[in-house]
Structure 1
Amino acid sequence: MQTVKKALALATLSSAVLLALAGGNAQAGTLTIESWRVDDLALWENVLIPAFQKKNPGVTVKFSPTAPTEYDSTLTARLAGGTAGDLVACRPFDVSLSLYNKGHLEKLDGKAGMESFPASAKVAWQTDDGKDTFCMPIASVMHGFLYNQKIFKELNLQPPKTEAEFLKLLETVKAGGKYTPLVLGTADQWEAHQVLFTGVGPNYWKGEAGRKALIAGKAKFTDPQFLNVWEYEAKLGKYLSKGASAQTYGDSQNMFALGQGAVYAAGSWDIAYFNANASSKLELGVFPPPVPKAGDSCYISDHNDIGMGVNKKSKNKEDAYKFLAWLGSQEFADIYTNKVTGFFSLSNHLISVKDPIAKQMIDWRKSCSSTIRVNSQILNRGTPSMENEMWNVNAQVLNGKMTPKDAATKIQTGFAKWYKPQQ
């Protein structure tokens, strides 16, 4: 009897050890992803993670988003405290650069999957000298103009190709008195800068060449190629709704969805909203920012929006790098671009985009040069904050409360106060 008890005890102990080992391995194969994209939870849980696990069985992945307004501060605290997830969704430029400089993110140069991205895609997640890349690019957003095809047909209008054609089109709509020519509010201010100014501007300052000239101190915001954009913006301001200064972003979306406006100053992320909320009076069309004059080269704001990094304190880096390699694959690029409509893969894979409006926008890359929002890299680091000042001056120019020259002077003066190459 005693022998049987010992045998049972040994068997129980062995089972416990095996279970412990199995549990340890399961834990080692668990990845947690930090992100601010709360709206993407179902996509990650039901589509993306299962697709990854099909290629990598045994790796458990948990998508753990935080509200966008709380993400930066809470992520920084968790990284510092050693409680953050293994993979970290990266905002572009300075926020993520700060995390890397503090030692929270791994250097990713040479890691599997990184070869799928061109140099322009990596710039938002690199050190200023371009030597270290610390997040894998995922997707960008673009800026242009959505339009109501029903209104265009009613008024016999065609998508404009030049500034003059665009202003003539808006004047025709205004003269009709039935619809708002250009749907854009200035109450929230950010759209005036992040959508309109940085959307139409690259055609004037020649995209990356103009942006880099500012960083190098070889161009100023008071130069004609930048001043001309504010002058163009002032002309566009005449075609906003009468209550534009009190019109929020949500108001603009609702107005256009209900078929009350002809043209909508858009970010590509708006496509999904209108697909879900458009009334029968809206039939979507899209055109890129018109060039200054016929024959000019075109440039588009193709702004790096989200990337993915590896937590330096992750206890499961082997699987984290497996996941990262998958993020650089054709499969992920196809799924993400088609499931998160209006967010375009930054990889060099050829992607078959299913949404017709999104397809038109991503095809702009074939004929136009891509650039990023003009002040995103380096230029937001001083005081006064260029981003905050840009929001304000662009809204005021559209409202007719500030002249283009005053807007250019204000931005340049604030810039020169702290940035040595501009002094």
Structure 2
Amino acid sequence: MTRNTLKLALATTALVATGAYAQDATLTIESWRNDDLRLWQDQIIPAFEAEHPGIKVEFTPSAPAEYNAVLNSKLDAGSAGDLITCRPFDASLALYDAGHLTDLSDLDAMSNFSDVAKSAWQTDDGSATFCVPMASVIHGFIYNRDAFAELGIDVPETEEEFFAALETIKEDGTYIPMAMGTNDQWEAATMGYNNIGPNYWKGEEGRQALIAGEQKLTDEAWTAPYATLARWGAYLGDGYEAQTYPDSQNIFTLGRAAIYPAGSWEVSGFNNLADFEMGAFKPPVQAAGDTCYISDHTDIGIGMNAATDNPEAARTFLAWVASPEFAEIFANALPGFFPLSSAPVEIEDPLAAEFVSWRSECESTIRSTYQILSRGTPNLENETWGASVAAIKGAETPEELGAKLQEGLASWYEPHQ
């Protein structure tokens, strides 16, 4: 062995030993979080690249509503990125079953996550974990503190107080009581039905009973939220039927509405847009003293495209995403996305901290339709979008909606047959 060859061998050994990546590679990330582009470019990616100079990372998001279709087209065409941002449960499980995502069970850093955190990105039997958990989001309501102070409104804790507050805002006329439209449909289910619903079906108790076939969508626990949504229509402002998701965001951040049915994912964007002080309150319980339930939804993970040309670099990035360092950066670069890593993280943003504080006050669950129940046709998640819109518009009764959804689920899901 020549001296130069020995030097090269020693250098290569050192790189391997330190976990550095010796060969230049560029990784592309597919995501639906287009609001986060600048944060990835300015904070997250530079932190990774500083430690791994041989790997460049590009974050290339699609619009949220188009992500699934765009991603599937790219995967089928062989043009998808190296890293795939993963929606929870069945959508990503389908990608794994189709051979598009790699089993990451042997990634050492997976030990940083609990079984519950990993369950959103595992096979039903838990034998394969195919995405690194990144964060959950919490549902509730964001409100304009200035508007509440002007109108003398206290933060509502019960549904009676909630609707009294809406009525006060409506009677005053300065603000639209609540900013949400039904044009895009998914908001009505995500920030409506699955926001308030856990207080009716008692979170995991009801969700698991529905999966087991022990409860039905015609039960009062599952139809009553539609009756409550039917009362929302009077407070959403003129033309809410044609109002898009971005419209609603603008209406609230411009100070034209007092309340915004929300997920904590809005925090970072709203902080940059609103020039008033914001607060958050959890979904109101039906009566004072009731146990509260929140949707603390395993929202986002990241996996490796099985067809990537850069598997080593991709695994290096995924191991970093699973580290406490990433959890700290991500939680505070994207306030409102709460880490799933077992490492403790201090949340600096006050609005995000308000959301996450509910974990110690309420029972946590996830969105009712995401695990198992949307695998067939008709798809229960998509059907819940339409049902939630119909409830708000008063187009169908809660009982009619429950019967239609139950019929659809029973048509393909054996525990309900």
Structure 1 letter corresponding to 2:110: M
Checking the alignment, whether the CA contact within 8 Å between 2:49 and 2:57 is kept in structure 1 is no
Structure 2 letter corresponding to 1:33: T
Shift of 1:357: 0.6
Counterpart Cα distance in 2 of 1:377 and 1:212: 10
Deviates more, 1:140-149 or 1:269-278: 269-278
Counterpart Cα distance in 1 of 2:142 and 2:70: 36
Checking the alignment, whether the CA contact within 8 Å between 1:122 and 1:136 is kept in structure 2 is yes
Q: Does 1:90 align with 2:86?
A: yes
Corresponding position of 1:362: 356
For residues 314-342 of structure 1, the C-alpha deviation after alignment (integer angstroms, 9 at most, x for no partner) is 45444433322221122111111111232
Corresponding position of 2:17: none
Corresponding position of 1:410: 404
Counterpart Cα distance in 1 of 2:308 and 2:22: 12
Shift of 1:149: 1.1
Shift of 1:32: 1.1
Checking the alignment, whether the CA contact within 8 Å between 1:33 and 1:89 is kept in structure 2 is no
Shift of 1:258: 2.8
Shift of 1:415: 1.1
Shift of 1:112: 2.0
For residues 220-266 of structure 1, the C-alpha deviation after alignment (integer angstroms, 9 at most, x for no partner) is 01112112211222233332213222222223222222322221111
Shift of 1:50: 2.9
For residues 188-222 of structure 1, the C-alpha deviation after alignment (integer angstroms, 9 at most, x for no partner) is 22111011110111111111221121111111011
Checking the alignment, whether the CA contact within 8 Å between 1:80 and 1:104 is kept in structure 2 is no
For residues 86-126 of structure 1, the C-alpha deviation after alignment (integer angstroms, 9 at most, x for no partner) is 43322222232122112332222252221222222222211
Change beyond 3 A, Cα 1:291–1:48: same
The TM-score, its normalising length taken from structure 1, stands at 0.86
Checking the alignment, whether the CA contact within 8 Å between 1:221 and 1:409 is kept in structure 2 is yes
The SS at the match of 1:321 is helix
Counterpart Cα distance in 2 of 1:74 and 1:235: 36
Checking the alignment, whether the CA contact within 8 Å between 1:31 and 1:87 is kept in structure 2 is no
Of 236, 258, 261, which residue of structure 2 is paired with 1:262? 258
Q: Does 1:374 align with 2:374?
A: no
**Structure 2: which 5+ residue stretches go unaligned?**
13-19
Corresponding position of 2:139: 143
**Structure 1: which 5+ residue stretches go unaligned?**
1-13
The SS at the match of 1:286 is strand
For residues 46-72 of structure 1, the C-alpha deviation after alignment (integer angstroms, 9 at most, x for no partner) is 32233224444x431322525246654
Matches within 5 A, 1:299-378: 299-314=293-308, 316-378=310-372
Structure 2 letter corresponding to 1:61: K
Larger radius of gyration between Structure 1 and Structure 2: 1
Aligned residue pairs: how many? 401
Counterpart Cα distance in 1 of 2:128 and 2:210: 23
Q: Does 1:200 align with 2:196?
A: yes
Corresponding position of 2:235: 239
Counterpart Cα distance in 1 of 2:254 and 2:310: 49
The SS at the match of 1:271 is helix
Checking the alignment, whether the CA contact within 8 Å between 1:31 and 1:320 is kept in structure 2 is no
Corresponding position of 2:98: 102
Shift of 1:141: 2.1
Structure 1 letter corresponding to 2:278: L
Of 27, 30, 39, which residue of structure 2 is paired with 1:32? 27
Change beyond 3 A, Cα 1:27–1:313: farther
Shift of 1:29: 4.5
Matches within 5 A, 1:127-166: 127-166=123-162
Corresponding position of 1:386: 380
Counterpart Cα distance in 1 of 2:145 and 2:292: 23
Corresponding position of 2:54: 59
Corresponding position of 1:286: 280
Shift of 1:374: 0.8
Counterpart Cα distance in 2 of 1:103 and 1:191: 31
Counterpart Cα distance in 1 of 2:390 and 2:75: 40
Change beyond 3 A, Cα 1:86–1:190: closer
Change beyond 3 A, Cα 1:245–1:227: same
Counterpart Cα distance in 1 of 2:245 and 2:81: 33
Structure 2 letter corresponding to 1:367: E
Deviates more, 1:283-292 or 1:250-259: 250-259
Change beyond 3 A, Cα 1:400–1:337: same
Shift of 1:182: 2.1
Checking the alignment, whether the CA contact within 8 Å between 1:183 and 1:264 is kept in structure 2 is yes
The SS at the match of 2:367 is coil
Checking the alignment, whether the CA contact within 8 Å between 2:331 and 2:337 is kept in structure 1 is yes
The SS at the match of 1:262 is strand
Of 164, 168, 192, which residue of structure 1 is paired with 2:164? 168
For residues 134-178 of structure 1, the C-alpha deviation after alignment (integer angstroms, 9 at most, x for no partner) is 111112222111111112112211111111221222222233333
Change beyond 3 A, Cα 1:30–1:296: same
Change beyond 3 A, Cα 1:246–1:75: closer
Counterpart Cα distance in 2 of 1:187 and 1:73: 19
